[in-house]
Amino acid sequence: MKYAVALSFAALAVAAPGNWKDWTSEPVVETSTAPVPETTAPAPEPSTWVEWSTSAPPAPETSTVPPPAPETSAPPAPETSAPPAEPSTWVEWSSVPPAPETSAPPAPETSAPPAPETSAPPAEPSTWVEWSSVPPAPETSAPPAPETSAPPAPETSAPPAPETSAPPAPETSSAPAPSVATSSWAPWSSGAASSSVWVGSSIPVTTPAPSSAAWTSGSVSVPSGTPVEAASTTTSSSTWTYTGAADKNAIGAGAFALAGLALMLSLSLTATRAQSCDSVENGYQCEPEISHFWGQYSAFYSVPSEISADIPAGCEITFAQILSRHGARDPTSSKTAVYNETVIALKANVSSDAFVGKYAFLADYEYDLGADLLSLFGQQQLINSGIKFFNRYASLAADNTPFVRAGAQERVVESALNWTQGFHSARTAAGHADADYPYAVLEISEEDGQNNTLNHAVCTNFEDDDQYYSTINEYAQEEFAATFTPAIQARLEADLPGLQLTSLEVIYLMELCPFNTVADDNGTISPWCRLFSEEEWHSYNYYQSVNKYYGYGAGNPLGPTQGVGWTNELIARLTNQPVNDHTSTNTTLDSNPETFPLGLKLYADFSHDNDMVAIFYALGLYNNTPVLSNTTITEAEQAGGYSAAWTASFASRAYVEKMTCSPSYGGGHAGRGGHGSSWNAWNGGAKGSSASSSASQELVRVIVNDRVIPLVGCGADNLGRCTLDSFVESLSFARSGGRWSECFT
């Protein structure tokens, strides 16, 4: 199993004794931690090195190394203070000792070769340091268990009473206040602890190629190829756990390396990693003829738009809301188990002599993906997203800090924090002060039965596995799979004698393509992808589109209802009126201005693919999508812009904008975004009202993955916009609660 560390300000806590905690199911939750001023650390000396060696490291606070400890016990306490910087020197990590120093006993390092002092220029602030491609030996333990964070105590599973002018009492008397994560980091000491979560990947962590980094007491450089196995944190906690290192002496060095690197990455404007074809503006563009057809496992890419997504001339954005999926991750725990079993069976039943040509990689392939956690690639996606959001809405973002919420699952919270890192980096790079950073992130429990508009878990008839609504998508997928998997199965079994596959196992092998791709730091296309044709990838993408459509879209009678709560929260934010909803909203949170403030300019919510699809359908964004066939492909262009890859990719995001436009520009005429032939049951009570009829009114526009979605049922103009009043009126399905009453009958 491989683990990787998503580096942040919080990583500085790695080197602080007293700040380690076993990775258990009882995380530390901090609910009100404020950032600790960074006043105790000396200002960094640019381009300085401090000699680190086996004979003379910086003075540690202890001179002995504790004996190895099992995974379930607390790891050794690292050094507790940053080493003093030597003026005009670099930190040199090396197994070759320089001239002895007298300030401290040695702390040997054995895993990294010396880094020449002249070979590594300081890192450019707008780029990532390239992560080493030299992996450590794979571990043999089972894949990591799913996130074990314990969200606040559940709210009642029964639907709350309708909320009108006064909010009801909290759903349960024992429910604690939601936890708030921030990306703060504290002075380096045994008592300092950050309150953020920045770690969560199953990729092995290797320290990067030599590169300088501003640090609290100088600069640091670390050579490539130094493995650090299984570094991690607990959800909503600053504590770290280290497991699996053979040489405990490497821990101190590893901790310093990670801490210094974390600050380097956090303070630099990290646009994209070297040699990656994933960018801030356009997203993932490696071999788009196949990679843009991986369904919800596609990496975010800029979707073509028939209407320009640029801010129209003469218009000013007055409000922006982003709704985002988390970044690319490892498979879920259940999927990673079946993928591993499928690979083991393949290797056991097929002679290695058959592994030639495009199958040659299988000779050495071992399944080593983890479970549920973000990859480094996925974390970078969200940093890029934060940068892009700031750049797009710079006129607002310069002086307005977004209010951020996230479902309280580790990968979702980490994604939110990564996004704030990117936003902050872009803000400071643009020359603006950012005293609000690190930003608080409101975490909302994802426990079953908890009211949470960012995670469906309350509608009983929809959630229960034995109910009709929970199986509609499975039957639809099985029917479509029968149209394309048999041919793939026959080809693979012919090419690899001894292989025997089911239709579902064909799907598993296809999914090893995107998951191995996003497990690579740079998103390098996996050789698994070469085993299938472009046509087969189109079929796979549609297979997943059918899944989402019949699971959470119009194909499921209760699907769009799962997005009603968030839609009503959006209405409240757009109109500065209290939330009026009796479905999945958390009334305790939404009635409190601290946890649901109104009147702000920028909002950011982080969720999952399924919830976003339900929200899009509750908003009526895909009312022009025809009923999807279970036997023939309907491409996104013919499906009203709907497909799993176009709407629910890793790091997928939707923008909801309000804008005002000068009368000379007007709103445009009601055009292709007006009433469509398929505008349907979800918003049947709306009446069209051309945006051009009142150019002084605020207009609303929705953009999904850079594609303008022409609004339906509200008299949209030729730029896809409706007036605020007509847009809200068109959301009658959500305002009436959808089909919530059917959740419990």
Which DSSP state fits 704? E
3-state secondary structure 93-150: CCCCCCCCCCCCCCCCCCCCCCCCCCCCCCCCCCECCCCCCCCCCCCCCCCCCCCCCC
Closest CA to 185 of 258, 253, 83, 84: 258
What amino acid occupies position 112?
A
Helix axis angle for 503-519 and 472-481, nearest 10°, is 100
Is 292 part of the annotated catalytic residue set?
Answer: no
Closest CA to 591 of 602, 581, 600, 583: 581
The CA–CA distances, whole Å, from 690 to 711, 713, 723 equal: 11, 10, 8
Expressed in percent and rounded to 5, the helix, strand and coil fractions of the chain are 30, 10, 60
Q: What whole-number distance in Å separates Cα of residue 690 and Cα of residue 232?
A: 54
416: number of CA atoms within 13 Å, CB side?
34
Phi-psi region of 311 (alpha: psi -120 to 50; beta: other; left: phi over 0): beta
Q: Give the DSSP per-residue string, 621-661.
A: TTTTPPPPPSSS---GGGTTT--HHHHS-BT-EEEEEEEEE
Phi-psi region of 705 (alpha: psi -120 to 50; beta: other; left: phi over 0): left
Cβ atoms of 20 and 240 within 8 Å: the answer is: yes
**Kindly report the CA angle at 692 between 688 and 696, in degrees rounded to 5?**
115
Which DSSP state fits 41? S
Q: Among 326, 456, 582, 608, which one carries the catalytic annotation?
A: 326
Buried-exposed string 64-96: b where 16+ CB fall within 10 A, e elsewhere = ebeeeeeeeeebbbbbbbbbebbeebbbbbbee
Closest CA to 702 of 285, 303, 404: 303
The CA–CA distances, whole Å, from 18 to 10, 57, 83, 261 equal: 15, 22, 18, 21
Cβ atoms of 737 and 555 within 8 Å: the answer is: no
Q: What whole-number distance in Å separates Cα of residue 255 and Cα of residue 731?
A: 52
Which DSSP state fits 531? G
What Rg, from alpha-carbon coordinates, does the chain have? 26
CB-CB neighbours of 138 under 10 Å: 12
The CA–CA distances, whole Å, from 360 to 100, 154, 512, 523 equal: 50, 50, 16, 21
Q: Which two tokens stand for residue 304?
A: 């073509």
Q: What whole-number distance in Å separates Cα of residue 638 and Cα of residue 671?
A: 18
Q: What whole-number distance in Å separates Cα of residue 552 and Cα of residue 682?
A: 13
Q: What whole-number distance in Å separates Cα of residue 585 and Cα of residue 573?
A: 14
Q: Which two tokens stand for residue 474?
A: 């499975």
Buried-exposed string 258-273: b where 16+ CB fall within 10 A, e elsewhere = bbbbbbbbbbbbbbbb
Q: What whole-number distance in Å separates Cα of residue 506 and Cα of residue 175?
A: 44
How do strand 699-704 and strand 653-661 relate by DSSP bridges? antiparallel
Q: Which residues are catalytic?
A: 326
